[in-house]
Chain A
Amino acid sequence: MKGALCIGKWMVGLSLVASLVAPAWAAETREAGTSALQSLLGEQAKVESLAGQFDQSKYIADLDTTLDSSGDFAFDADEGLRWNIQKPVPTQLRITADEIVEEQDGEVVMRMDVDDQPMTRAISEVFFAIFGGNWDKLSERFTIRTLQDGSPWRFELTPKGDMLQSHLSSIELQGEAYLNALILRETNGDQTHIQLHDVKAH
């Protein structure tokens, strides 16, 4: 049951993974095709840190309304990812190789250990695997399809497992030099659009 509870978390967590994956291979997207992606990602191991801003707009189908949030993010190959939501409430999320920690008002409100929570491990693993250049990890969980080759490009990830499929329809990634946006479509009709800007890589 705990595992099932985590599915939702995992699913949404993957959107983060995708958002960080994207700028990585976007840089060399001129080499088209999925097999080419692999070599693009190989370059990714050289990226030591990434940072930028994000604007998120979540459409809730049930209520026919959108929920907006914004903030900044930073990734460091050693320290992991920080996802700081500034509006509407300041919340800090940290994903490392060992754990996922969420803080609000300087207080830890959630901490999930990678070893105790396999779903947490999956998020962390996929995330780090991509930055380590291991494309196989992502293709284990998703079918990857090119929607639009060239610049701007669009790719679509569709989940392979039953558990993910029941919640998540697809993740679409759009970008030019870096990833510009990702769109998360859930089976219940909800759609989350995350727009990235001012992305800097080192």
Chain B
Amino acid sequence: MAHRSTHHWFALLWAIALVFMAVQLTSRLSASAFDTSILALLPQDKRQPVVDRALERMDGVIANRVLLLIGGAQADRNQLQVLAGEVADGLSASGAFTSVTTQADVGSLSALAAVYQPYRYQLLTNEVEERLAKGETEPLVNRAVREMVSPIGRPRPASVVDDPLNLLGMWMEGLTPATGFVPDQHGLYARQGNEHFRVIRAIFSGDPFAEATQKPVLRAVESAGDQVRENDVATEFLRSGLVFHAAAGAEQARSELSTIGIGSLMAIVLLLLWHFRSFSYLALPVVSVGVGLLVALSASLMVFERVHLVTLAFGASLVGVSIDYAFHYLCHARERVTHGIRHILPGITLGVVTSCLAYGAQALTPFPGLQQIALFSAAGLIGAWLTVVLWFPLAQRWLGQGRQQNRLGQWLQGLVRVRGVLAVLLGVLVLVALSGFPGLRFNDSLSALQSSPPDLVAQEQRVQALSQSPGSARFLLVEGASIQQVLERAEQASGQLDTLVVDGRLQAYQSVSGWVPSIARQREYRQLVQTAVFDRGVPSELFDALGMPAELAARSQRHFENNDAGWLLPKDLEDSPVAELFDSLWLKTGNSERPHAALITLGKVSSPAVYEDLAALAGKVGGVRFVDRVGQTSALLGDYRATLSQWMALAYGLVLLVLIVRYGWQCWRVILPPALATVITVGLLSALGQPLNLFNLLATLLILGIGLDIGIFVRESHGEWHAWEAVTLSAVTSLLAFGLLALSETPVLHHYGMTVLPGIALAWLIAFVLHRRAES
């Protein structure tokens, strides 16, 4: 009795612990607790904190921005512009956005000109610099004369005396941002062939991943879409923004997880009703699985704060694994009059230990996704195991006792008679798998794992093409010990980028040095202006040509000599109209120890080969590196696929050690089903022509976990039919659950399901063929 009461106390303690976990889970649970971005699965690259900062900055710029494009025929331009105005008004009125703009800022240019004006003798465009360096001043004089008398001359930010050749006018014109969006008097627009697009930029506040942020933004954009569709002139409505992908990802995850969860539960319910014909037998597995999930989610959010979609997918798969313990108990309890769990305890304990070892090994990798999965699954398994061990024996009185009609057992016994056929089938599968191995391919490209709806991705690509805007995935990062060094290095890189632009391989780029030349370069330019313009009497030539008094040339000379503006520095632009743009390119440092850094954003490239040129370019200039987030991510996925293969070997090794202790040389009977099933599955996938990636490998860990349970339970119960019933029930349940995963639209889940599906079926089949043969 003492033993019984101790058990009661532990069961109560477990209940209290669960209540605590449930309470703390509700406080942490929100939409923002779930990551959908594939990038969140990658390790923080500890060696490159400045790269992380740059990536954060790039993300920050786009995270809270929405771009809406209203397209129609070029001929309907005016109506489109009116419609864009109305749509923008509607968006503003919705209250979802902090700002909605269609307008170009009218006063910005003159304000910017005022900032540059004092430095007009030391700001030169490439073209002017080349001409001055060659002493070709005549074309410059002619141009200045023409502009003075032509009705449509280039604007002059400084007077003809202050800046005879209008160097500042040309500098200002060269600042035109690298974007395909062009402003007219009504705002921004883009053009493609005979199509005209009006651009609306809207900024919202709050976390784009939070449902509370997404809802009003999506609703406002939805009604804007309706407004556009009602209009006959508009033929297209394009949306671009992180928030749309975040919302689509969350929606997809929600719907698919509920499909998988419900599908899995339905399968369990039907199987249990069919097998046990009792509702009380049905309730217990649901309880153990539910508790497992609660513990898994609670523990994961406690440790990681945010959990990824992939981790949750594993959570759904836990429904399949932890139910092993419940089935094992129930199948046993139905046949035995004896209370208690003692008889099956070694089996399910060995099961939980080996599974936790197999998954726990992943916690040691530096991969955040793997760590989350390791913790989630281990916590879930332990939670379910504790529930079975502590609570199930207490529920014995509600379970019907005595042997009943057992269809599954009969069916299994019938299957023994055809085990020869099964063995042949297995042999055929092995042969097919072997034929697949020569064609084994790996595809680690990130695009293969893109999970946003194709329609949204297409819109995004369209908008990017129209805006010719720099994507945030690839850029150059310039570091230096001082601000001036950063500018100098950016100038060196710009020189190289210019050749790519001239060759038509790079559409455009945007660098801080394009707004503020380094002091060294400003000094160079001023010297050039002195020798090539003022020392050679170019102003006299100009005023002479214009027929204006010669005295003006002398005045011009005096103005130049008296100009002592000092050097233009990045901080001078901080209050200018371009401050926002400039700020997005400049990575400010909080303390002096961190290096100064700036970004050079890149426009469209003519072909992917240009990325190699950019990487080579970055290698040539000190302190400059090419950050290719897409390429880097694919490379990392590949690296971790390779790493995971090694960790798999370690997992098998650890499990084997435990099994040797327990079973000695007979352990091969337990380890062979999952091991062989994994090898055949990989071969089958290759034979089907499917390239493998990290997530296929991840799934093979699950094959190990479930495969081991099959081997261990059967072995521990000496091949008794109740154990076979239990493992068969769990294998079938898992197959149904993962059958749904293979149907998922999310590529990661799809690959996962496609691997687990044949893997588990094979593990069961191998164990069945092997074990019965050993007994007979």
Identify the A interface with B (CB < 8 A). Answer: 1-5, 7-9, 12-13, 15-16, 56, 58, 60, 62-63, 65, 67-69, 83, 85, 87-89, 91, 93, 100, 102, 104-105, 109-110, 115-116, 118-119, 122-123, 161-163, 166
In residues 92-121 of chain B, which contact A (Cβ within 8 Å)? Answer: 104-110
Instruction: Give the contacting residue for A9; candidates B149, B152, B182, B545; CB below 8 A.
Output: B152
Q: 14 extra interchain contacts, Cβ-Cβ under 8 A, other than A102-B150, A119-B185? A: A1-B175, A1-B177, A4-B183, A9-B154, A12-B152, A63-B159, A63-B552, A68-B547, A88-B545, A102-B146, A102-B152, A105-B142, A122-B185, A161-B185
Q: Does B176 reach chain A (CB closer than 8 Å)?
A: yes
Nearest residue, chain B, Cβ from A90:
B146
- Does B152 contact A67, Cβ atoms closer than 8 Å? no
Establish whether residues A12 and B153, one from each chain, have CB atoms under 8 Å apart when the complex forms: yes
Q: A63–B556 Cα gap in the complex (Å)? A: 11
Give Cα A2–Cα B191 distance, bound, in whole angstroms: 15
- Cα A105 to Cα B108 in complex, Å, equals 35
Q: A65-B549, A100-B152 are in contact. Are A163 and B173 (CB under 8 A)?
A: no
CA of A58 to CA of B149, assembled, Å: 8
Closest A residue to B159 by CB, please name it. A62
B74 within 8 A of partner (CB) = yes
Q: For residues 537 through 556 of chain B, which have their beta carbon under 8 Å from a beta carbon of chain A?
A: 545-549, 552
Are A93 and B184 touching (Cβ within 8 A)? no
Give, as a whole number of angstroms, the nearest-CB distance from A61 to chain B: 10
- Whether A5 pairs with B153 at a CB distance below 8 angstroms is no
Question: Closest chain B residue to A118 by CB distance?
Answer: B184
Contact in complex: A4, B74 (CB < 8 Å) = no
Interchain CB contact under 8 A, A5 and B160: no
User: 19 A-B Cβ contacts within 8 A?
Assistant: A1-B177, A1-B183, A3-B184, A4-B110, A4-B183, A8-B155, A12-B153, A13-B151, A16-B151, A56-B149, A63-B160, A63-B548, A63-B552, A67-B148, A69-B149, A85-B150, A102-B146, A116-B191, A118-B186
Contacts of B183 in A (CB 8 A): 1-4
Contact A89 B545 (CB under 8 A): yes
The 7 closest A-B pairs by CB, nearest first: A118-B184, A8-B155, A4-B109, A3-B183, A69-B149, A9-B152, A12-B151
Q: Which residues from 269 to 295 on chain B have a C-beta closer than 8 Å to any C-beta of chain A?
A: none
**Which residues on the A side are within 8 Å of B185 (C-beta)?**
3, 118-119, 122, 161, 163
Q: How far is the CB of B295 from chain A (nearest CB, A)?
A: 58
B interface residue numbers (CB < 8 A to A): 74, 104-110, 142-143, 145-146, 148-156, 159-161, 172-173, 175-177, 182-186, 191, 545-549, 552
Report chain B residues within 8 Å CB of A122.
185
**How close is B617's CB to chain A, nearest CB, in angstroms?**
28
A88 to B110, CA, bound (A): 29
A89 lies within 8 A of B145 (CB): yes
Q: Which residues of A contact B106 (CB under 8 A)?
A: 4, 7, 162-163, 166
B159 engages A88 (CB within 8 Å): no
* Most-contacted residue by chain A among B160, B161, B185, B547 (CB, 10 A): B185
B181 vs chain A, min Cβ distance (A): 10
State whether B176 touches A62 (Cβ < 8 A). Answer: no
Decide yes or no: A91 and B160 within 8 Å by CB, A4-B109, A5-B172, A65-B548 being known contacts.
Answer: no
Q: How far is the CB of B343 from chain A (nearest CB, A)?
A: 81
In the assembled complex, the Cα of A100 lies from the Cα of B151 at a distance in Å of 11
Q: In the complex the two chains form, is B145's CB within 8 Å of A63's CB? A: no
Instruction: For residue B450, give the distance in angstroms from its CB to the closest CB of chain A.
Output: 34
Question: Known: A62-B161, A63-B161. Is A115-B151 also a contact (CB below 8 A)?
Answer: no
Q: A60-B160, A85-B149, A104-B142 are in contact. Are A2 and B155 (CB under 8 A)?
A: no
Q: Which residues of B contact A16 (CB under 8 A)?
A: 151
- B160 → chain A closest CB, angstroms: 7
Cβ contact within 8 Å between B152 and A13:
yes
B176 touches A1 (CB 8 A): yes
Q: Name the residue of chain A whose CB is nearest to the CB of B183.
A: A3
Q: Which of A2, A3, A88, A115 contacts B547 (CB 8 A)?
A: A88
A115–B104 alpha-carbon span in the complex (Å): 18
Residue pair A83, B151 in contact (C-beta under 8 Å): yes
Given the interface pairs A4-B106, A67-B547, the reply to whether A116 lies near B155 with Cβ below 8 Å is no
CB pair B74 A115 closer than 8 Å: yes
Closest Cβ neighbor of B145 among chain A residues = A89
CA distance A48 to B237 in the complex (A): 43
Contact: A1 with B151, CB < 8 Å? no
Contact, CB under 8 Å: B184 / A9:
no
Q: Bound state CA distance, A48 and B145, in angstroms?
A: 33
Cβ–Cβ < 8 Å partners of B184 in chain A: 3, 118-119
